[in-house]
Amino acid sequence: MIQLQDFALRRGGRLLFEKATFQIHPGWKVGLTGVNGAGKSTLFAAFMGDMAADVGSLTRPATWTVAHMAQEVESQETAAIDFVLSGDEEWWTINQQLEHESDTMPLEKLTSLHERFGEIDGYTATARAAQMMAGLGFTTVKQSAPVSSFSGGWRMRLNLARTLMSRSDLLLLDEPTNHLDLDAILWLEEWLKNYSGTLVLISHDRDFLDAITDHIIHIEAGLVTLYTGNYSTFEQTRAERLAQQQQSFEKQEATRAHLQKYIDRFSAQATRAKQAQSRVKQLERMQKLAPAHVDTPFTFSFREPSKMSSPLLQLDEVDAGYGTTIIVNNIRLQLTPDSRIGLLGMNGAGKSTLIKTLAGVIEPLSGERTSSEHLNLGYFAQHQMDALDADASPMLQLGRLAGKKISDAELRAYLGSFGFSGERMDTTCGSFSGGERARLALALIVWQRPNVLVLDEPTNHLDLDMRHALTLALQDFKGAVVLVSHERQLIASVCDDLLLVHGGTCRTFDGDLADYAQWLKQTRQQEMAAKPTKAAADKAAAKKVVDVAPKVVEAPSKIENAKPIDKEQARKEAAAKREQTRPLRSKIEKTEKQIQELHNKLKQLEVTMADTGLYEASRKAELLKLMEQQQQHTASIASLDESLLEMMMELDELEA
């Protein structure tokens, strides 16, 4: 277990916390929480072994393997899946030896390596890595691409996958969801639930914390407190503790006031001096209780739009995409002042393309985008943060928008509501954290009094208090909202309608986020089982929306000149389809037989290789030949399995 005893840490000479004494037992899943600057990352570094105690001690088992997610990935030409596989250092070392040194290796060492490879499930590692990467949004093509071809956000996903690949005893994750969308977060959530080691997690996603953690470590006012239960339980327990603390504080203050009054009244009287001195000592001995301290929450509200009309914005049979490539087709969407829409969809489905088309960043490839003359659209995306003037302060950038008629006092009061102190208001943005940049970008949007908000992952880099404040502000916003977010609490609290972007279409999703999570899980399982080519995947995706998700309501379609079904014609078409698919069905049957024969051969090989005499030095050549056959059969089965699944997908499409 991990044990802290009277542990204290400083950073830059400032005491972050002291007297931290607690234990983290094997298998616990712990959330580490506290406001920005409280010391979460510093304590995290101590868990990793990168930060020594200023006072006290922190110990953990020396035999534990510790995995933590790096914050950067160097550009390299290594294939993405190989980069992920290297996260299991022992597997990577053994695999390299078996691939490049088996011919010259002594038999005893070769046998030992094969035994260890089997013990660590080495033969399934590549498949597990591919499944993990698919869960995090990497297509088959992306898995083979070099690391250097990925952007910063995708490299962080690679880092996460590489970290999860490690067979660790202690897993340390600092904001792992920052660069993930909702479907990747849901996959990671399930993975971490099944993780058997000890987990310490920093996250500002309360739903994520609730689903995974069984303990919370909270840093507040220089103290570290361990709570039992998930984040919601922690909030309730902390609220009760603070209420009790406030009552005790008020009671003590009343007692102190009474004693002080006695001292002030009688200390000058000779007859009462002794009693007054006794009260002074009593007052000095009393432990000073702090009032219930709750960190000042981040609060703001959206300014009421100056003008409004209905509809504000409309997409009519719009095809969205780039160049000649259509990503989402036939979009029909109308925004009125009371629209509250959440966009759902797997990574790469086209949510951002739809958002950019709606915001007017890219033009529709076809169809019409119609806006009201009163439309004032506020668009928040990650590039908005990058577009901030790094050499200008918040005051200067807000002043550019506000003009000369607004006083500095008003501007400072406004920025203060977004959590900027006097000093930070006049500091250039180049030194700002991600959270500060996100807050400033929001502040600049809010100042312009939009009547339509289009928000693409607005909570990235925001802490729990800020996310809560944004949720409350959006609930009170007097205009339309279109939201893409991995923050389930935000979607559930703000959005009335959900749209699913999938298979090249945008459709109403008639369900809640729990229904979406179930649909997503089933869809991903089918796609992983099929392992289709990209073209086949695109065709299968549209079919799965109907087959897997009965809650997805199809967009209305035009049916012209409908005719009764001709049963005779239908019978003939069915017969023609059977004839057309006969060669494919025959090929499927033949492939299934080949796979079964190879499985039988593998079983025979396993029986043969169980003979202990086979591992004598005189029979090395025979053993190597059997091992080679085993590897060939395993590879052949994998190849035939993939071909079989592709043929079955093709058959399904032909018979549909």
Q: Which of 168, 203, 221 is the last residue of a domain?
A: 168
d(CA 388, CA 545): 40
| From 463-472, 498-507, 556-565, the region with the lowest mean pLDDT | 556-565
- Burial (Cβ within 10 Å: 0-12, 13-18, ≥19) of residue 212: buried
Residues 549, 469 within the same domain: yes
Number of domains into which the chain is organized: 6
pLDDT at residue 82, rounded to an integer? 92
More confident residue, 354 or 99: 354
Tell whether 292 is covered by a domain.
Answer: no
Residues 47, 179 within the same domain: yes
**Contact between 299 and 439 (Cβ < 8 Å):** no
**Contact between 429 and 388 (Cβ < 8 Å):** yes
Question: What is the arithmetic mean of pLDDT over 468-478?
Answer: 84
Residues 84, 151 within the same domain: yes
User: Where residue 319 sits, what CATH number does that domain have?
Assistant: 3.40.50.300
**Contact between 369 and 319 (Cβ < 8 Å):** no
Residues 10, 102 within the same domain: no
Asked if residue 546 has pLDDT above 60, the reply is no
pLDDT at residue 314, rounded to an integer? 94
Tell whether 69 is covered by a domain.
Answer: no
Residues 434, 333 within the same domain: no
pLDDT at residue 218, rounded to an integer? 92
User: Where residue 615 sits, what CATH number does that domain have?
Assistant: 1.10.287
Tell whether 334 is covered by a domain.
Answer: yes
pLDDT at residue 192, rounded to an integer? 95
Tell whether 29 is covered by a domain.
Answer: yes
Asked if residue 188 has pLDDT above 50, the reply is yes
pLDDT at residue 551, rounded to an integer? 38
pLDDT at residue 559, rounded to an integer? 32
pLDDT band at 574 (very low <50, low <70, confident <90, very high): low
- How many percent of the chain have pLDDT more than 90? 23
Residues 466, 521 within the same domain: yes
pLDDT at residue 542, rounded to an integer? 37
pLDDT at residue 541, rounded to an integer? 39
Residues 36, 84 within the same domain: no
d(CA 339, CA 398): 28
Secondary structure letter of residue 94 according to DSSP: H
Residues 212, 308 within the same domain: no
Containing structural domain, residue 321: 299-376+452-555
Q: Which of 118, 147, 168 is the last residue of a domain?
A: 168
Tell whether 346 is covered by a domain.
Answer: yes
Give Cα 403 to chain centroid, integer Å: 39
Structure pTM?
A: 0.63
Residues 51, 85 within the same domain: no
What does the DSSP assignment read for 576-591? Answer: HHHHHHHHHHHHHHHH
pLDDT digits (tens, 9 = 90+) for 207-262: 899 999 999 999 888 889 999 999 888 888 887 777 776 776 777 677 777 777 76
Residues 140, 247 within the same domain: no
Tell whether 382 is covered by a domain.
Answer: no
More confident residue, 302 or 363: 363
pLDDT at residue 330, rounded to an integer? 93
Residues 279, 311 within the same domain: no
pLDDT at residue 652, rounded to an integer? 64
Tell whether 381 is covered by a domain.
Answer: no
Asked if residue 293 has pLDDT above 60, the reply is no
pLDDT at residue 343, rounded to an integer? 94
pLDDT at residue 104, rounded to an integer? 79
d(CA 124, CA 80): 17
Tell whether 507 is covered by a domain.
Answer: yes
Q: Which of 423, 448, 473 is the last residue of a domain?
A: 448
Asked if residue 630 has pLDDT above 80, the reply is no
pLDDT at residue 532, rounded to an integer? 45
pLDDT at residue 141, rounded to an integer? 85
The distance between the two most distant Cα atoms of the chain, rounded to a whole number of Å, is: 120
pLDDT band at 535 (very low <50, low <70, confident <90, very high): very low
pLDDT at residue 540, rounded to an integer? 44
Residues 513, 486 within the same domain: yes
**Contact between 319 and 366 (Cβ < 8 Å):** yes
Residue 650, SS3 per DSSP: helix
